[in-house]
């Protein structure tokens, strides 16, 4: 593994991933969902909070939290993954939040639809995009900013896109965007702006830092690249057996080993998951469970029967119904985004008498 610096350790100690054993839960318990915050977590007073809907609209709105909560509510299980998931596994090393594979989670979000609010404000005919701006300020790439991202009008209006004020049945935790955040199913997490303060409908494409500079797929700093959008497919397994404290290496008994995990894609449903115990040389189809929601990960399982004690490398790979399949080797780009190379779990099978 490439070594990470103290600045990366500082980020890794503030943000945190899903412990992979928590893949066991269909809905990630509060506190186990990954967290990624670029700047500081703002302390927001819900009593004085306002969401402004401004810009190219007929009727600008300024809504209190209780007014938003009084609107028609939707609840959906949504799998969210950071675009930088897998970054620490790419070569050459990309300096940023050093995720291995744990920047994912699924919560049951409750909120109100963005389409409904846009209709109420009345989007003007010259509008092209909707900018979602957070309360959190900071400096990124030498640019001072409020964290902000945009969506095309069509994407902002699409089914399932909501302003969420609750997760797993309780008000949002501070680190997940209290009191109000955007949730955009199927897209990488940077899209789902936390601590939402302003929705601005604009007549020109948004050129903010997190849109026009960060979150671009490109292999050199001087090319504009293409935007990072939806999650490419990924399957993860709960590492089986017991771990070594320091190396996290796994140890299992020489017996039938139940393997379980979850798989998701932002491009469509999961068509299949394949399992390998020889580092990706040979593959065996896993069993898929029924989906728990259109925007949520899907459980899969496989019974692995190692034929002898020794060292193995377990892998899993997802396929979606849009025809995407996980690669064996990580794709490289400047930001270390969208690395969905297959998970590799080294395991030692111990003889029965050990």
Ligand X SMILES: Nc1nc2c(c(=O)[nH]1)N[C@H]1C(S)=C(S)[C@@H](COP(=O)(O)O)O[C@H]1N2
**Under the criterion CB under 5 A, does residue 259 sit at the interface with Mo ion?**
no
Task: Pick the closest to residue 1 from 97, 90, 104 (CA basis).
Answer: 90
Q: In whole angstroms, what is the distance from residue 328 CA to residue 203 CA?
A: 42
Residue 192 vs 211, nearer CB to ligand X: 192
Residue 104 vs 315, nearer CB to ligand X: 104
Residues 189, 225, 233, 280: which binds Mo ion (CB under 5 A)?
A: 189
Contact (Cβ atoms closer than 8 angstroms) between residue 206 and residue 148: yes
**Under the criterion CB under 5 A, does residue 36 sit at the interface with Mo ion?**
yes
Contact (Cβ atoms closer than 8 angstroms) between residue 198 and residue 54: yes
**Under the criterion CB under 6 A, does residue 134 sit at the interface with ligand X?**
yes
**Under the criterion CB under 6 A, does residue 192 sit at the interface with ligand X?**
yes
Q: Give the number of residues in contact with Mo ion, rule: CB under 5 A.
A: 4
**Under the criterion CB under 5 A, does residue 201 sit at the interface with Mo ion?**
no
Residue 38 vs 262, nearer CB to ligand X: 38
Task: Pick the closest to residue 206 from 126, 130, 127 (CA basis).
Answer: 130
**Under the criterion CB under 6 A, does residue 190 sit at the interface with ligand X?**
yes
CB atoms within 10 A of CB 208: 17
Helix %, strand %, coil % of the chain (to 5): 15, 40, 50
Contact (Cβ atoms closer than 8 angstroms) between residue 216 and residue 238: no
User: Where in 211-250 is the site for ligand X (CB under 6 A)?
Assistant: none
Supply the minimum distance, in Å, between the C-beta of residue 295 and ligand X. Answer: 15
Burial call 257-266: b when 16+ CB within 10 Å, e when fewer: bebbbbbbbb
Residues 38, 200, 234, 298: which binds ligand X (CB under 6 A)?
A: 38
User: Where in 74-113 is the site for Mo ion (CB under 5 A)?
Assistant: 82
Q: Enumerate long-range contacts of 14-19, CB under 8 Å, 24 or more apart.
A: 15/97, 17/99, 17/100, 17/101, 17/102, 17/103, 17/104, 18/102, 18/103, 18/104, 18/105, 19/102
Residue 38 vs 200, nearer CB to Mo ion: 38
Contact (Cβ atoms closer than 8 angstroms) between residue 102 and residue 125: no
Supply the minimum distance, in Å, between the C-beta of residue 338 and Mo ion. Answer: 11
Q: Which stretch binds ligand X (CB under 6 A): 184-192, 201-209, 220-228, 313-321?
A: 184-192
Supply the minimum distance, in Å, between the C-beta of residue 37 and ligand X. Answer: 5
Residue 104 vs 317, nearer CB to ligand X: 104
Residues 18, 76, 82, 202: which binds ligand X (CB under 6 A)?
A: 82
Say which DSSP state 249 is in. -
Contact (Cβ atoms closer than 8 angstroms) between residue 201 and residue 121: yes
**Under the criterion CB under 6 A, does residue 189 sit at the interface with ligand X?**
yes
DSSP string computed for 31-98: TTS-B--SS------TTT-EEEEEESBSS-EEEEHHHHHTS--EEEEEEEE-TTTTGGGSSS---SS-
Residues 17, 22, 33, 90: which binds ligand X (CB under 6 A)?
A: 33
Distance of CA 128 to the CA centre of its chain: 26
Contact (Cβ atoms closer than 8 angstroms) between residue 275 and residue 286: yes
**Could you say which of ligand X, Mo ion, none residue 192 binds, taking C-beta under 5 to 8 angstroms by partner kind?**
ligand X
Residue 38 vs 319, nearer CB to ligand X: 38
**Could you say which of Mo ion, ligand X, none residue 134 binds, taking C-beta under 5 to 8 angstroms by partner kind?**
ligand X
Q: Which stretch binds ligand X (CB under 6 A): 189-197, 255-263, 285-293, 323-331?
A: 189-197
Q: Which residues bind ligand X (CB under 6 A)?
A: 33-38, 80, 82, 134, 136, 147, 175-176, 189-190, 192-195
Q: Which residues bind Mo ion (CB under 5 A)?
A: 36, 82, 189-190
């Amino acid at each position: 593994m490439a070594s990470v610096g103290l600045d990366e350790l500082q980020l890794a100690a503030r943000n945190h991933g899903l412990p992979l054993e928590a893949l066991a839960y269909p809905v990630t318990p509060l506190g186990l969902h990954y967290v990624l915050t670029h700047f500081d977590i703002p302390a927001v007073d819900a009593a004085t909070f306002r969401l402004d809907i401004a810009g190219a609209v007929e009727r600008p709105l300024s809504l209190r939290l209780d007014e938003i909560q009084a609107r028609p509510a939707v609840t959906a299980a949504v799998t969210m993954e950071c675009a930088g998931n897998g970054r620490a596994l790419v070569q050459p090393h990309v300096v940023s939040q050093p995720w291995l594979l744990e920047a994912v989670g699924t919560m049951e979000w409750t909120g109100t639809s963005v389409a409904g609010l846009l209709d109420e404000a009345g989007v003007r005919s010259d509008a092209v995009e909707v900018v979602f701006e957070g309360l959190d300020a900071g400096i990124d790439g030498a640019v001072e900013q409020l964290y902000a991202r945009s969506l095309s009008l069509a994407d902002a209006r699409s089914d399932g896109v909501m302003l969420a004020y609750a997760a797993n049945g309780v008000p949002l935790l501070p680190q997940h965007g209290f009191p109000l955040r955007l949730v955009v199913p199927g897209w990488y997490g940077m899209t789902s702006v936390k601590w939402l303060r302003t929705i601005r409908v604009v007549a020109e494409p948004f050129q903010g830092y997190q849109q026009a500079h960060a979150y671009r797929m490109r292999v050199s700093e001087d090319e504009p690249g293409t935007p990072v959008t939806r999650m490419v497919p990924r399957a993860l397994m709960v590492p089986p057996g017991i771990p070594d404290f320091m190396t996290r290496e796994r140890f299992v008994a020489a017996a039938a080993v139940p393997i379980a995990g979850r798989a998701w894609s932002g491009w469509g449903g999961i068509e299949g998951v394949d399992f390998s115990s020889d580092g990706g040389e040979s593959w065996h189809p896993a069993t898929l469970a029924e989906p728990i929601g259109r925007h949520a990960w899907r459980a899969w399982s496989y019974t692995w029967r190692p034929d002898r004690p020794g060292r193995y490398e377990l892998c899993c790979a997802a396929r979606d119904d849009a025809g995407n399949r996980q690669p064996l080797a990580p794709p490289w780009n400047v930001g270390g985004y969208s690395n969905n190379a297959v998970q590799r779990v080294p395991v030692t099978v111990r003889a029965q008498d050990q």
